[in-house]
Amino acid sequence: MSDSFYAVILAGGRGERFWPLSTAKRPKQLLSLVGGRPLLVQAVDRLEGLVPPERIFVITNADLVDVTREAAPALPASHIIGEPFGRDTAAAVALGCALVKERDPNASFCVLTADHIIKDVDAYQQTLRDGLALASREDVLITIGIPPTEPSTGYGYIEAGDLYSEDMDTHFLKTDRFVEKPDAETARRYMAAGGFYWNSGMFIWSVRALEQALEAHRPALAEMMRDVSPAVGTDRFSAALKTAYDKLDKISIDYAVMEKAANIVMAIGSFPWDDVGSWQALENHFDVDEHGNVMIGDARGLDAARNVVVSEGRLTAIIGVTDVVVVQAAGATLVCARERAQDVKKMVEQLRKAGGYDEVL
Amino acid sequence: MSDSFYAVILAGGRGERFWPLSTAKRPKQLLSLVGGRPLLVQAVDRLEGLVPPERIFVITNADLVDVTREAAPALPASHIIGEPFGRDTAAAVALGCALVKERDPNASFCVLTADHIIKDVDAYQQTLRDGLALASREDVLITIGIPPTEPSTGYGYIEAGDLYSEDMDTHFLKTDRFVEKPDAETARRYMAAGGFYWNSGMFIWSVRALEQALEAHRPALAEMMRDVSPAVGTDRFSAALKTAYDKLDKISIDYAVMEKAANIVMAIGSFPWDDVGSWQALENHFDVDEHGNVMIGDARGLDAARNVVVSEGRLTAIIGVTDVVVVQAAGATLVCARERAQDVKKMVEQLRKAGGYDEVL
């Protein structure tokens, strides 16, 4: 492992899609939905042998810093940084870049997600390793694209172009464009046409290349980096961060940089990857019983088929229902038609408006 | 009110149909499913002005005596009697008869249920009052039949015959036969034909008439009465009851007496009556929202229709589901297709066999 390889893990988010198990105080990345440990801890552990804990930074919400430090004790507490308010991914990435730069201005780093499920750690590390090596050599902005296994409408896509480099295990392609989440028809067309990859939200670049890109395409973020850098590691940091963030607009790193810069390269990520976007997605990661049910925790069924049941702490019994998601958590119980799992966020919004549910949201 | 009118309320039962809200330790009759107070307390209160608490006896399971006394403090504690084991309704009725006889051998009494919903208390009391008056005058065994309001397959029926007496507000008919719960086709035929009434499980008779009937049709029960009577009110009572019950077979009062005796008369009970046989039945007693949902407790819906949700203590949220019963109780959560509400008992049975669920059953 190279001393100049760093990782920034984005671990913000309010966890609304996995309500009521996830709450503002216990968002998705801190849940052990799959794999027995919090997703964030798995994201850290997946870097073992490539990037050691002392070169990993986690960017989360200010009010999640304490629980995140508790959940990931292997990381230095000072490497878990809370944003004073959410300014979308571009700000978080720029903040991570400032932190890495303070340690090593010549570093390269990957930007990783805290709440996805990734299997085949060897293949994953190979992609990161090759990407970091390329980013150390050339001023490219690397995004990781995942070969689609189904015509998903839940992901954005990257349309890739010609081969950029194949001198490593990982293949790198030039990119033609980033496209928003497509409708079902378009997604099928992408699959059939080939050359389209899922936008994983993971990136690799050098501090220098990213800073140049921010300066060129989103100077406010480069300015934020300059504003907070002198305060890193001092007790002025929180205040400096707040002042700097206050000036920022919300924008994603895709909009701010990736769709504008010319030096974009896509690494093909040939490892199983799932952003686990809703309760329904859990079924891809658990054994189903003979009736097609996924039953997690203390759950029992009678003549019930194709349900996803997650029962925390107490028994959940289902009788004669099909295609339903049932989640029993400490604060509330959710019963949701399977095809409506994306609408859990709407319910959370409804409850927030109704008021009186702060404790369970 | 006559000094010689008594009431025996049958309050046994394991409450399996309303699991998980009802449990062995908190069966249906002790739940405030409808009306804001435990159903048993409502059964006692419905007798106000007709039978005072000191002439009411409650027969329940031995292990429910304490909670029942707690739930119904208006009754003398000594009037809440626990059966050592369940021997079906005939034994409970005979035991009640023995208790009443010890107080007044010339009494008449009604046998009432603890877990039904009855509205129009005036009409109800009129039926009981007229029945008690008739039972005091003539050696008849009176059963209360309810004019059916729908072709229910959940009740047994009484086929009534000629008029027996109409000199009181309540009409009494001769009975032709008792019929078991019919299938849907038969139930529709009963409705169309007329002359069929729901078997309410409520009876009225004198101590003398019932004792004669037991002697004639089920002498073991008359013997039980003789065995326990001398022990009533003494500290030998529990032991005597256990010894006497040990000899009995399980049999319902319908099988033991009503289907055999010749002196059966049916009172037409012209009051709204519902045995609330399952979760689904609750919807008849609550307002439905504009989507046809019954939402009891802290329950919220989004695009959900025709559901019954009972949420105790915590929030239950439903999204996009239809025709589902959801019950969240302290020990467990149930999600059941509406048309399968009768099968809650099967789930309870399955859990009992599986073991480890004693605390929540």
Query: What is the arithmetic mean of pLDDT over B230-256?
Result: 96
pLDDT given at position A1: 64
Judgement on whether residues A160 and A293 belong to the same structural domain of the protein? no
Judgement on whether residues A270 and A287 belong to the same structural domain of the protein? no
Do you know the residue count of chain A? 361
User: B196: which 2 tokens?
Assistant: 């069929």
pLDDT tens, residue by residue, B130-180 = 999 999 999 999 999 999 999 999 899 999 999 999 889 999 999 999 999
Please identify, among B236, B253, B274, the residue that sits at the C-terminal boundary of a domain. B274
Judgement on whether residues B39 and B138 belong to the same structural domain of the protein? yes
Judgement on whether residues A167 and A302 belong to the same structural domain of the protein? no
pLDDT given at position A330: 87
Please identify, among A274, A296, A320, the residue that sits at the C-terminal boundary of a domain. A274
Judgement on whether residues A244 and A99 belong to the same structural domain of the protein? yes
How many domains does chain B divide into? Answer: 2
List the single residue in B315, B339, B357 with the smallest CB-CB distance to A331: B315
- Of B202, B270, B333, the residue nearest A335 (C-alpha): B333
Give Cα B333 to chain centroid, integer Å.
Answer: 26
Q: Answer yes or no: do A333 and B347 touch at CB < 8 A.
A: no
C-beta separation of A149 from A192 below 8 A? no
Question: Amino acid letter at B156?
Answer: G
**What does the buried/exposed string (b/e) look like for A331-350 if buried means 16 or more CB atoms within 10 Å of the residue's CB?**
ebbbbbbbebbebbeebbeb
CATH number, domain with residue A234 = 3.90.550.10
> Residue A255's domain spans which residues?
5-274
* Residues in B touching A326 (Cβ below 8 Å): 333, 335
Please identify, among B252, B274, B296, the residue that sits at the C-terminal boundary of a domain. B274
Q: Enumerate the β-bridge partners of residue B172.
A: B165, B267
Three-class SS string for B134-172? Answer: HHHHCCCEEEEEECCCCCCCCCCEEEEEEEEECCCCCCE
Q: Answer yes or no: do B314 and A347 touch at CB < 8 A.
A: no
Q: Enumerate the β-bridge partners of residue B267.
A: B144, B172
* Residues in B touching A345 (Cβ below 8 Å): none
Quickly state the pLDDT bin for B1 (edges 50, 70, 90): low
Judgement on whether residues B285 and B257 belong to the same structural domain of the protein? no
Judgement on whether residues A266 and A288 belong to the same structural domain of the protein? no
- Does the pLDDT at position B205 exceed 90? yes
pLDDT given at position B184: 94
Whether the model pTM is above 0.90 = no
Q: Enumerate the β-bridge partners of residue A313.
A: none
C-beta separation of A141 from A265 below 8 A? yes
Q: What does the radius of gyration of chain B's CA atoms come to, in whole angstroms? A: 21
C-beta separation of A284 from A121 below 8 A? no
Q: pLDDT tens digits, chain A, 361 residues: what are they?
A: 688 999 999 998 777 889 999 998 899 999 998 988 999 999 999 999 999 999 999 999 999 999 999 999 999 999 999 999 999 999 999 999 999 999 999 999 999 999 999 999 999 999 999 999 999 999 999 999 999 999 999 899 999 999 999 889 999 999 999 999 999 999 999 999 999 999 999 999 999 999 999 999 999 999 999 999 999 999 999 999 999 999 999 999 999 999 999 999 999 999 999 999 889 888 889 999 999 999 999 999 999 999 999 999 899 999 999 999 999 998 999 999 999 998 999 999 999 999 999 989 9
List the single residue in A302, A339, A357 with the smallest CB-CB distance to B315: A357
List the single residue in B326, B346, B360 with the smallest CB-CB distance to A335: B326
Q: What does the radius of gyration of chain A's CA atoms come to, in whole angstroms? A: 21
pLDDT tens, residue by residue, B310-329 = 999 899 999 999 999 999 99
C-beta separation of B14 from B23 below 8 A? no
Compute the distance between CA of residue A20 and CA of residue A332 in angstroms, rounded to an integer: 6
Query: What is the arithmetic mean of pLDDT over B53-73?
Result: 96
Residue numbers of A between 282 and 321 with CB closer than 8 Å to B? 300, 302-303, 311, 314-321
Virtual CA dihedral for B127, B133, B134, B137, nearest 10 degrees? 180
Judgement on whether residues A131 and A190 belong to the same structural domain of the protein? yes
Q: In Å, what is the CA distance from B98 to each residue of B1, B92, B102, B206, B209?
A: 22, 10, 6, 12, 13
Give Cα A300 to chain centroid, integer Å.
Answer: 32
Averaged confidence pLDDT in chain B: 95
pLDDT given at position B117: 95
* Residues in A touching B332 (Cβ below 8 Å): 314-317
Judgement on whether residues B253 and B300 belong to the same structural domain of the protein? no
Judgement on whether residues A256 and A309 belong to the same structural domain of the protein? no
Q: Enumerate the β-bridge partners of residue B296.
A: B310
Judgement on whether residues B220 and B352 belong to the same structural domain of the protein? no
Compute the distance between CA of residue B34 and CA of residue B24 in angstroms, rounded to an integer: 19
Q: Answer yes or no: do A333 and B328 touch at CB < 8 A.
A: yes
Measured at the CA of B316, the angle between CA B311 and CA B320, to 5 degrees, comes to: 125
pLDDT tens, residue by residue, B85-94 = 999 999 999 9
Q: Name residue, tokens 């009995």.
A: B248
The ipTM, to two decimals, is 0.88
Q: Answer yes or no: do B336 and A316 touch at CB < 8 A.
A: no
Judgement on whether residues B35 and B157 belong to the same structural domain of the protein? yes
What does the longest C-alpha to C-alpha distance in chain B come to? 63
Residue numbers of A between 327 and 356 with CB closer than 8 Å to B? 328, 331-337, 339-340, 343-344, 346-347, 350-351, 354
For B327, other C-beta atoms within 10 Å of its C-beta total 27
* Residues in B touching A354 (Cβ below 8 Å): 300
**Closest-CA distance of chain B to residue A3, Å:** 50
